[in-house]
């Protein structure tokens, strides 16, 4: 059995006649350490990816190519690759990256010399499609601290490009546990969550050499604002106009981190401490985007752009990219997210009012009254709150059921 498995999730690898794919695979043929196998899973690429791959691997028994019959989405591909690994060590390897000749050898040496290390990864050298060197990236925070909780917090506060995600992993100790814990989640930064979990299990150690080369591609388009990028990634690309994890991705991400900590093998008091620190770090680091996504949600609700449900076949959800309504199904999901967001940002403008509106639209008058009380305390003179108060009075009936001002 090979000591290392490299998993390559592949989609549309044939761009530019497969130039990037060829560069990636050539870097594996040139490794000084050759006791590895490569599992390639093509997610039903519509181009000539399969033809290029089969030509490049040339029947090399270390390489296996598999093609999904339909596009099953990136998360399925990543999980399938991890679970296909039966080696001691695993590396996720993308076709738009390539390795320096000694990368596997030097990462492996760190893991074999230090049983407490769970990931070894080199400095990252960004390149363009032609191979010209751009920026050099290295992590400056201490991800090899002796205390697992501190390592975890350092990842949250000091991890930038998450290049450690494509480092060499001690497979059985980390990757399987992460897949089981976070499978199926779709939040703002899945790789950061994986690395934070890995930090609870062991050290993340850097090889002090630029041996990992990564294409610096269209992460954020030239001149694109952070808000425009958010809309492009989490709204316009969504299959359904309002997928829950996409509509409040940063709030969802913070919640997922807290859930991971509660399931971690740590003393209860340490878990509580880390949960509070996690929320504080992530809210501070990503406050701008948390506030932006909450503002979008609150604005949409308070404009009344919802309907109470789909009543027939002619009332399908709006087409992809058009956001005219919040239907009943989405409202029932959104209300849970707004309640959680209220715990994160209780003083966010009009969030309490939005919670009351959604509860009311769902027919939950009692819960709407509770939320409205919070809105009254926050903004007792707000006209919208007064209007909703009158609406609630008509529904519940009688002065005895009036919410207190």
Residues 57-82 have a mean pLDDT of 86
Q: Using CA atoms, how far apart are residues 175 and 82, in angstroms rounded to an integer?
A: 7
For the chain, what is the domain count?
A: 2
Q: Using CA atoms, how far apart are residues 158 and 143, in angstroms rounded to an integer?
A: 9
pTM score of the predicted model: 0.82
Burial 312-351 (b: 16+ CB within 10 A, else e): eeeeebeeeeebebbbbebbebbbebbeebbebeeebebb
Q: What is the CATH number of the domain that holds 300?
A: 1.25.40.10
Instruction: Give the distance from CA 301 to its chain's centroid.
Output: 25
Q: What radius of gyration, in Å, describes the C-alpha atoms of the chain?
A: 25
> Which domain does 236 fall in, by range?
226-395
3-state secondary structure of 24: helix
Neighbours of 384 (CB within 10 A): 15
Q: Is 254 in contact with 344 (CB distance < 8 Å)?
A: yes
pLDDT in tens, 165-224: 999 999 876 676 666 555 545 554 678 888 998 999 899 999 999 999 999 865 545 667
3-state secondary structure of 205: strand
pLDDT tier, 72 (very low <50, low <70, confident <90, very high otherwise): confident
Tell me, yes or no, whether 176 and 248 share the same domain.
Answer: no
Tell me, yes or no, whether 200 and 230 share the same domain.
Answer: no
Tell me, yes or no, whether 204 and 268 share the same domain.
Answer: no
End residue of a domain, out of 215, 236, 252: 215
* DSSP E strand stretches across 70-153: 89-92, 97-99, 117-127, 133-137
pLDDT score of 143 more than 90: yes
The pLDDT of residue 240 is 39
Tell me, yes or no, whether 265 and 146 share the same domain.
Answer: no
């Amino acid at each position: 059995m090979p000591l290392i498995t490299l998993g390559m999730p592949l989609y549309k690898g044939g761009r530019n006649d497969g130039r990037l794919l060829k560069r990636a695979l050539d870097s594996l043929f040139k490794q000084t350490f050759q006791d590895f196998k490569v599992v390639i899973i093509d997610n039903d690429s519509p181009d000539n990816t399969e033809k290029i791959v089969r030509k490049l691997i040339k029947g090399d028994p270390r390489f296996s190519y598999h093609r999904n019959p339909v596009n099953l989405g990136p998360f399925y591909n990543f999980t399938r690759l991890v679970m296909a690994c039966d080696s001691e060590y695993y590396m996720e390897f993308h076709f738009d990256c390539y390795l320096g000749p000694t990368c596997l050898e030097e990462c492996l040496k760190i893991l074999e010399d230090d049983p407490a290390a769970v990931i070894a990864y080199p400095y990252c050298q960004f390149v363009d499609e032609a191979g010209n060197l751009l920026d050099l990236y290295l992590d400056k925070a201490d991800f090899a601290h002796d205390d697992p909780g501190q390592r975890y917090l350092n990842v949250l506060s000091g991890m930038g490009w998450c290049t450690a995600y494509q480092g060499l992993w001690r497979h059985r100790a980390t990757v399987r546990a992460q897949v089981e814990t976070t499978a199926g989640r779709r939040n703002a930064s899945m790789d950061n969550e994986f690395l934070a979990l890995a930090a609870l299990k062991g050290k993340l150690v850097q090889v002090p050499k630029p041996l990992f080369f990564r294409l610096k591609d269209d992460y954020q388009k030239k001149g694109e604002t952070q808000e425009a990028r958010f809309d492009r990634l989490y709204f316009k690309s969504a299959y359904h106009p309002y997928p829950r994890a996409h509509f409040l991705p940063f709030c969802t991400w913070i919640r997922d981190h807290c859930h991971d900590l509660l399931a971690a093998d740590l003393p209860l008091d340490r878990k509580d401490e880390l949960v509070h620190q996690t929320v504080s770090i992530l809210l501070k680091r990503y406050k701008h985007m948390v506030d932006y996504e909450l503002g979008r949600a609150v604005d949409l609700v308070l404009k009344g752009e919802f309907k109470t449900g789909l009543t027939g076949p002619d009332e399908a959800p709006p087409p992809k990219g058009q956001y005219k309504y919040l239907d009943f199904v989405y409202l029932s999901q959104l209300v849970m997210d707004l309640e959680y967001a209220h715990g994160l940002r209780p003083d966010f403008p009009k969030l309490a009012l939005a919670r009351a509106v959604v509860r009311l639209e769902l027919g939950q008058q009692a819960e709407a009254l509770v939320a409205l009380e919070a809105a009254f305390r926050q903004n007792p003179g707000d006209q919208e709150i007064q209007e909703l108060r009158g609406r609630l009075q008509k529904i519940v009936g009688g002065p005895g059921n009036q919410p207190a001002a």
